[in-house]
Structure 1
């Protein structure tokens, strides 16, 4: 019995891109790089440096800055600013550690500044 044929790398890439592009996303307002799927949104009730923020399970196309302890509204957290890989604009931060037990749910999550994002709904207007 022959082993199943795996798709070539070009087949795999186009399938992943097609699937990803069909989902609503948040993109960088400055360069339009995709930053997160809207399905990754946990809460809109957060505050960033420059206004409202979104707590997200995950994000892509970001590079992480230096870790630092930062006093925030809910206590001291170990965070690192995150920057868009497309334009290097600061998008928010990543929560490494929370000192208070009630804030531990933020660890490993991203706070993305609402004003730095564009919501892409992926509506199909041809129907």
Structure 2
């Protein structure tokens, strides 16, 4: 598949487009495999069921994020924060650096 739009991040496993570089908010997150990035939006993903989890910065309701093409687990989506100072994360996506690559 040829892509001629904005730079984006793709699934490392199957090259499915996942997020535009314009939607990148932060590279300062940690996930299971190490570094992770926060995005405003993600595409071509499937959300798992939501559940509550204690993370480094507090308790959240999250949903795991999977690639819609190959099913690779990529990270999670913040559904709800139980702490006011983390409300800005609600609706945002965390994608693991090792599960994707950047294409210009």
Q: Following TM superposition, where does structure 1 have runs of at least 4 consecutive aligned residues deviating by more than 4 angstroms?
A: none
- Which structure 2 residues correspond to residues 31-50 of structure 1 after superposition, within 5 A? 31-50=14-33
Matched ranges for 1:1-127 at <5 A: 21-121=4-104
1:95 is paired with a residue whose SS is: strand
Aligned CA RMSD, in angstroms, stands at 1.2
CA distance in 1 between counterparts of 2:4 and 2:47 reads 24
Structure 1 unmatched ranges of 5 or more: 1-17, 122-127
Deviation at residue 104 of structure 1 after TM alignment:
0.4
Identify which of structures 1 and 2 has the higher relative contact order when contacts are C-alpha pairs closer than 8 Å and 6+ apart.
2
- Using the size of structure 2 for normalisation, the TM-score is 0.95
1:9-32 deviation per Cα after TM superposition (whole angstroms, max 9, x unaligned): xxxxxxxxx9x7321000000000
Q: Which runs of 5+ in 2 are unaligned?
A: none
Which structure's CA Rg is the greater one? 1
TM-score normalised over the length of structure 1 = 0.78
2-structure distance, mates of 1:79, 1:109: 10
- How many angstroms does 1:108 deviate by? 0.5
Q: Which has the higher helix share?
A: 1
